Amino acid sequence: MVKVIMGLKGSGKTKTLVDMIRQASEDAHGDVVCIEKDKNLTFDIPYTVRLIHASEYNINSNTLLRGFISGLHAGNYDITHVFIDNFLKMLDDDSNESVAQFLDWLDKFSLANHVDFVVSCSRDADSADERIRKYF
């Protein structure tokens, strides 16, 4: 499963994401991972969640993020949930085409590996095309 939380700054995306992370950490029968660009959620999420700061790994493209997620899974098959905060701020190409391609890949990866993904994006939801909206 892939779910996208999209909205403008101040629309409550981070609060929704943090609530979902907390719920997953309580309910999941595996490991929960949160990837964020910078160190913003350090004190907001449970200590049992593996918090990864993408800036420490120079993740700045869809290709690098795909490889990073694949490597995470290869190193830990017990991951059941991955949350990605401020997804668009990590990328050098945040066009609808690029985002849709990544989300489609993420959906295939999710189905093949039984990992649920939640992605938050700071952008007006009305600007997303249908290939992105299907993940709302």
pLDDT at 34: 98
Domain map (residue ranges) of the chain? 2-133
Give the integer Cα–Cα distance in Å for 102 and 82. Answer: 15
pLDDT digits (tens, 9 = 90+) for 67-100: 999 999 999 999 999 999 999 999 899 999 999 9
Q: Which CATH number fits domain 2-133: 2.160.20.10, 1.10.3720.10, 3.40.50.300, 3.40.190.10?
A: 3.40.50.300
Average pLDDT value over all residues in the chain? 96
Q: What is the pLDDT of residues 1-52, one digit of tens each?
A: 999 999 999 999 999 999 999 999 999 999 999 999 988 899 999 999 999 9
In 3-state terms, what secondary structure has residue 134? Answer: coil
Q: What is the 3-state secondary structure (H, E, C) of 49-70?
A: CEEEEHHHHCCCCHHHHHHHHH
Report, in angstroms and rounded to the nearest whole number, the Rg of the chain calculated over CA atoms.
Answer: 14
Q: What is the pLDDT of residue 46?
A: 96
pTM for this prediction: 0.95
